[in-house]
Chain A
Amino acid sequence: EPEVTQTPSHQVTQMGQEVILRCVPISNHLYFYWYRQILGQKVEFLVSFYNNEISEKSEIFDDQFSVERPDGSNFTLKIRSTKLEDSAMYFCASWAGGRPYEQYFGPGTRLTVT
């Protein structure tokens, strides 16, 4: 069964450094998403991406964040100048479009900023 993959599973970085989180969505999917889950809190939408551009973004997704689909398979989230409060689980998801409106989630990347 096709699945969304994410690398790395765990990333430790120092405050102020840049990190890139990588995702490989399901191959025939059209919509891609990033979500964040701070430990003990609910999952929050960051951004959606369709047709090689950002479709929607939340107020969390400020200038510190950027997304890119550098080739036909990868979908990346870049966080510039990381802060302690960026420590969280980051989930990538993808959707084929059409019904059902079901997004498939990757296993997540745990980001720890020290």
Chain B
Amino acid sequence: AQTVTQSQPEMSVQEAETVTLSCTYDTSESDYYLFWYKQPPSRQMILVIRQEAYKQQNATENRFSVNFQKAAKSFSLKISDSQLGDAAMYFCVHSGGGADGLTFGKGTHLIIQP
């Protein structure tokens, strides 16, 4: 069974600053993906970034980047130049593919201070 742990229930950052959200996971899969999803107050689930476990290079998407430490089973999200629109709940998610459902962490509520 897979588990995903997000130890920061809430984080706060000043607008334009950088913030890092932490995530650790445990998996029995050798081939898997990790994702960060953003959930704004509308509760829509929005994909922020994905990382394939076989790729050593950390994924980046504009202001969003990850630090993927496979041996340590760590997958943190860095948001640079934080914007008010980044305020949301962020979920770290594991996918082993196939029929298995995604495994979500409990989420980190990110607050952006103007």
Contacts and interface: CB of A to CB of B under 8 A. Distances in A.
Interface of A: 31, 33, 35, 37, 41-48, 50, 55-56, 58, 89, 91, 93, 99-103, 105, 107-108, 110
A44 B91 CA distance: 12
B67 interface: no
Given A42-B107, A108-B43, A103 B99 contact: no
18 contacts: A35-B101, A41-B106, A42-B91, A43-B45, A45-B102, A48-B99, A48-B100, A91-B45, A99-B52, A100-B33, A101-B95, A101-B96, A101-B97, A103-B95, A105-B44, A107-B43, A108-B44, A110-B43
Contacts of A89: 43
**Counting chain A CB atoms within 10 Å of each CB, which of B32, B52, B99 scores highest?**
B99
**Counting chain B CB atoms within 10 Å of each CB, which of A47, A48, A110 scores highest?**
A48
Contacts, number: 61
B100 to A, nearest CB: 6
Interface residues of B, number: 24
Nearest to A99: B52
A108 B44 CA distance: 7
B11 interface: no
A107 B44 contact: yes
